[in-house]
Structure 1
Amino acid sequence: MYVSRLHRAVTLALSLAVLTAGAGCVPALAQKPPASGFETKATYAVVMDAGANLMLFEKDADTLMVPASMSKMMTLAVLFREMKAGRFTLDSEFKVSEHAWRTGGAPSGTSAMFAPLNTMVKISDLIPGVTVQSANDGAIIIAEGVAGTEEAFAKEMTAYARKIGMEQSTFVNATGLPAEGQLMTARELAVLARHLVYTYPEYYHFFGMKEFRYRDKFTFHNRNPLVLADIGVDGLKTGFVKESGYGLTISGTRGNQRLIVVVNGLATPKEREAEARRLLEWGFKSFKPFRLFDEGEKVSDALVWGGTSHYVPLVGDGNINIILPVTTSGKVSASIVYDGPIKAPIKKGDQVAILRITSDDSSATNEIPLYAGDDIGQSNFAYRGLDSLLLLAFGWLL
């Protein structure tokens, strides 16, 4: 691992850029949250800056818990994946089996969209059935339509969770109804919510629908009260079973900043709404993006082995910003980390390094991917040999 300190002029520019803050999305990786002194009644909670993938607050974030209907976000993630791959469309239809009807429909006494037994239901109705009404029959119909059985679909849910970095969550059904082994963490609910926002923007709007009319017979209103509250919340999912209490995962924007909030283990629906709103407001008031580099602006250079140039310029994917407390002093430290020297050839746009930013005002670390700003071709054999000698003799001090 090669660590290169930024040149003095660039380090000074970082401090000045922070003091003259700009706004924008931040492509960074989550690290430890800053100490905040903030408290919540929720047993489990996180606040994430979605653009930065940075945790701003957490409480028992990695403790496995019963997610209830919040696990339906993974049900939809699997469906969206299949739709994006072209296997299904919004006009595709799935059959209402007796299992779906009896376990999640009218006879179950749970939240349902009341799809009639043995009928066909379009995906365009099943999605809002789940996002708005939290329909258990809708979730099972999706599971069986995609994978044949709910059990097989639950295995796909768990496999997909692992693929996107959810290492602890496991699923045994598509609904979140009480079942041994149906467990998630608050952190991984936030990871899943962020994945839905950025991977499936063409379908994310279903989470923000205020109402859904089905079969000209039922009008369902979104069970997520904050979608209706005009505070910038545009989706995600409620949950409740006796084993877990009341939970809620929400996402919302103010300007160019998007936050995700997860709470669970609350005593009443009103408490769930109040705590999620309070965490959201705290996050927006306490943190904001600060501009470091404009789109296309060179951050620094990385060393290259065997290339037509000994250096490759490093740039961000668009503007480079970091998330800091609004009261920040502007004092930050920066380093560039990469495995190197980087072997040529290198294509413009390849991710080759990380810009690591720490602040005196926060224990959070912003880690921002950096990309090659130019193509670097491979040099001839003689020059590659010379590069090897320089590396052995001088540790690449060019």
Structure 2
Amino acid sequence: MQAYLWTIAAALGAAAIALLVVQTVHRIVRALGRRSVLLAELAQHAHRPFQVAATVFAVQAAVRIGTGLYAVGTGWRQALLHGLVLLTIATTAWLVASLLLVCEDIALVRFRTDVPNNRQARRIRTQINILRRLTVVIIVVLALGVMLMTYPAVRGVGASVLASAGVIGALAALAAQSVLANLFAGLQLAFGGAVRLDDVVVVEGEWGRIEELTLSYVVVQIWDDRRLVLPTSYFTTKPFENWTRTQSAVLGTAEFDVDWAVPVQTMREELRRMVEDTELWDGRVCVLQVTDATGGSVRLRALVSAADAGRLWDLRCLVREHLVEWIRDQRPTVMPRVRTEIGDANSDLPWQWVQPRRRPVRRRTEDVPDDARVFGGSDDGDARSSSFVGPDEVVEAPR
């Protein structure tokens, strides 16, 4: 009984000393963390696993020394020490995982996503988040493997397990085909750059942003605050729209069906005045074009640009609202209408024989930009046009 009591007292004393040392180190690291981000992260995230791991290790050492000195029963001693070894492996894995996560958090601090040009930062954060989850999985698997190897029976069947590893691996791969596909798809998304965190995408007819990206699934936050959860393999096997892959600035349209009597240039100038008075427009593109003229009406398309997808949505709605109001109040005669002609060829009603009026020649002033072309008329339009020009063909001179 004296040996058991001594062993318990030694374990409690070792635990108390370990806790005291860990608490002292924690206070020192936290004080130094005021000047170092790394030390501050260590004091915040690695304190608890370090405390538990140090306590378990100290108790194991005390029990091993105490039971060895007093020759405590072999069976009881081996079972206790084996349990402490398992706890030491588990807490050490927890500590290592915490240290790696602290390093990843330090790396994330350097890449901010609350700045306008954050494409590179979002790519790095996506890769780090995927590596974070992969690191935790690897550490847990290795810790479980080491814990199993502490059992002699498991070590004894190692040769037979290795002999049948090929068959088991083939069966496991067949059974977990979808899981492995999502795993490799997650790694491909993280390092391929097809999609990143906070990217604005259109998937399954829904418009939203990438809120979470893991090794197995991707969470898309839809514009109305719903969440669309998709497997990572979806983004490697099916087409989707990524509005912010190269930059956050995007273009958007607003279409109108109006009467043939619409003054296109006047409406174009009104569109220009409207977008110049709103902070939603980024000043790049403002174009009004006639895209169709069939079925008794003319279709106009207003093309505008904004710094991001959210502002573009509001800008498109504002363009529709303003131009509808302008047509209703200033040009009611160009509202869509259905014409019906009653009479015959001998009818001499005045409205049937109106002579076509000569359109006055309007001089374009220098201060009015050319808003009639998407692929030209401005520096941005010329750059967009050059993207669709193929390689120059070499024309051989006739012999």
- The structure richer in helix per residue is 2
- When normalised by structure 2's length, the TM-score is 0.21
TM-score (norm 1): 0.21
Asked which structure has the greater RCO (Cα within 8 Å, sep 6+), the reply is 1
Bigger radius of gyration among the two: 2
Choose between structure 1 and 2: higher strand proportion: 1
